[in-house]
Chains A and B, each alone.
Chain A
Amino acid sequence: DAKTTQPPSMDCAEGRAANLPCNHSTISGNEYVYWYRQIHSQGPQYIIHGLKNNETNEMASLIITEDRKSSTLILPHATLRDTAVYYCIVMGTGANNLFFGTGTRLTVIP
């Protein structure tokens, strides 16, 4: 299921933007990029998803490269509560099951 590659860990200063990269070089045309996060053993939480256009919501922005082989999740002003494991997941149109990799552990530092 390892369709994505993420760095195992990153740090970010509180108040700064956190930019979390994800490589998905084998993504196919009908597959979306989803981001979830898990805060300290809580249930995973949906953040955002996109196909090819950049997306923004109240939680984050998602930048997908033109060739769709990589993407970046941006938390514009990271807070301590954003410390979590962030998962980048590729999922096809009509797919119903979600499979997690190991994600990126983001630590927001005061």
Chain B
Amino acid sequence: NAGVTQTPKFQVLKTGQSMTLQCAQDMNHNSMYWYRQDPGMGLRLIYYSASEGTTDKGEVPNGYNVSRLNKREFSLRLESAAPSQTSVYFCASSGEGQKNIQYFGAGTRLSVL
């Protein structure tokens, strides 16, 4: 049981480049989330998806787009990366029966130069 899997683990981009962060969960969870983690600021919610086919903005959505491809997968896209998007990105999921417990992936460390 892999839980929540994120790819890639590390990425370096130049300003203006685009990329997609991938996330997949194998726990049959309805809800999925994307967070960014910056020093001294905890985790901030970027986007979330309460169920397949729906997505909603979180606290810091600007500069990002998401796709809930199916129940398992929830991707985060940076169309034109900026240095301010240098961060560690975490994907999480939660199930219908335990909405109050989120399971996290290992994270993607992104640097934008």
Do A and B belong to a common assembly? no
List residues of chain A with CB under 8 Å of any chain B CB: none
